[in-house]
């Protein structure tokens, strides 16, 4: 199959591209840039997509979007985060739906959709939460779901924290632990829904190859509290975890984003992937961290 990927140079996109090519698929990186550059496929800011760019494409894996974890959430930054998701998705859906033989759309989302939900167990049928992350992911999903109304087979993947030594949250955690000053974030009771990069890539391929549609939580079947995650990481690094970081320090460092990125509790289960027969390689946090530190995908 010919598969197009937006965000193909990111952490997940790079790994998905390698996996798909290894499995014999032809991958088309959807490169962003000005129309006068031959390698450019689209420029969402101006509403441009190169004519014929998606000819013969059977599926589009849409992963593009500015990193939520970079920088403080000023009003300007919030607008960038929203605009980098909703506008490009609307443009992509509109273009794909107008094709004579439209491809399937697999669109990224995140468990931030659920907001801060305490100890409650959340599956794909759970209602959206409140807060900026919940609002931005709901808007992102609404833009993608317009494709279903237009006749596209549409799948939405709500990713948990993706564990990989190559990028994302894990490399930022390693230095304090290696220095022996790692610890829980706040009281450590908040639930953390996670997945290894390897399993995230396998889940995308499972949805793609199985012609599945709808919404899927891409999270390991055993979410953990931040305290449990901290202890597992400390064991894997053979370091102590003695220095909890109080919430006020996190807020001083990150501003309001600390409450949603680091202190919010989301106990998410991958019910629909399980129903579809998907088997996680790393369902338990200790083995997941070890696999992520070794490299994985």
Per-residue pLDDT of the chain (297 residues; tens, 9 = 90+): 999 999 999 999 999 999 999 999 999 999 999 999 999 999 999 999 999 999 999 999 999 999 998 888 999 999 999 999 999 999 999 999 999 999 999 999 999 999 999 999 999 999 999 999 999 999 999 999 999 989 999 999 999 999 999 999 999 899 899 888 899 999 999 999 999 999 999 999 999 999 999 999 999 999 999 999 999 999 999 999 989 999 999 998 888 899 999 999 999 999 999 999 999 999 999 999 999 999 755
Phi, psi dihedrals of residue 41, rounded to the nearest 5°: -110, -35
Domain ranges of the chain: 2-294
Q: Which residues contact 112 (CB under 8 A, 6 or more apart)?
A: 68, 131, 133, 134, 136, 137, 260, 264, 266
Q: Global pTM?
A: 0.96
DSSP conformation letters of 101-168: SPPEEEEEEEGGGG---TT-EE-TTSPP--SHHHHHHHHHHHHHHHHHHTT--EEEEEE-EEE-TTSS
pLDDT given at position 253: 84
The reply to whether CATH 3.10.290.10 applies to domain 2-294 is: no
């Amino acid at each position: 199959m010919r598969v197009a990927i937006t965000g193909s140079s990111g952490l997940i996109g790079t790994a998905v591209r390698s996996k798909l090519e290894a499995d014999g698929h032809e991958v088309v990186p959807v490169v962003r840039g000005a129309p006068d550059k031959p390698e450019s496929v689209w420029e969402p800011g101006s509403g441009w997509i190169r004519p014929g760019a998606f000819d013969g494409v059977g599926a589009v894996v849409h992963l593009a979007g500015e990193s939520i974890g970079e920088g403080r959430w000023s009003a300007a930054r919030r607008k960038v985060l929203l605009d980098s998701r909703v506008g490009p998705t609307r443009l992509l859906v509109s273009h794909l739906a107008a094709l004579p033989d439209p491809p399937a759309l697999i669109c990224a989302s995140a468990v931030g959709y659920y907001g801060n939900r305490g100890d409650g167990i959340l599956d794909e049928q759970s209602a959206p939460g409140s807060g900026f992350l919940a609002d931005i992911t709901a808007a992102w999903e609404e833009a993608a779901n317009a494709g279903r109304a237009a006749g596209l087979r549409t799948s939405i993947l709500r990713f948990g924290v993706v564990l990989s030594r190559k990028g994302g949250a894990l490399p930022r955690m390693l230095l304090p632990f290696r220095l022996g000053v790692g610890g829980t974030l706040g009281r450590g009771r908040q639930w953390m829904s996670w997945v290894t990069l390897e399993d995230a890539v396998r889940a995308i391929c499972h949805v793609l190859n199985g012609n599945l549609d709808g919404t899927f939580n891409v999270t390991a079947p055993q979410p953990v509290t931040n305290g449990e995650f901290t202890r597992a990481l400390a064991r894997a690094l053979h370091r102590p975890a003695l220095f909890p970081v109080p919430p006020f320090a996190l807020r001083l460092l990150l501003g309001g984003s600390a409450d949603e990125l680091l202190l919010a509790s989301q106990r998410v289960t991958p019910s629909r992937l399980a129903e579809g027969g998907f088997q996680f390689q790393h369902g338990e946090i200790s083995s997941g961290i070890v696999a992520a530190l070794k490299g994985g995908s």
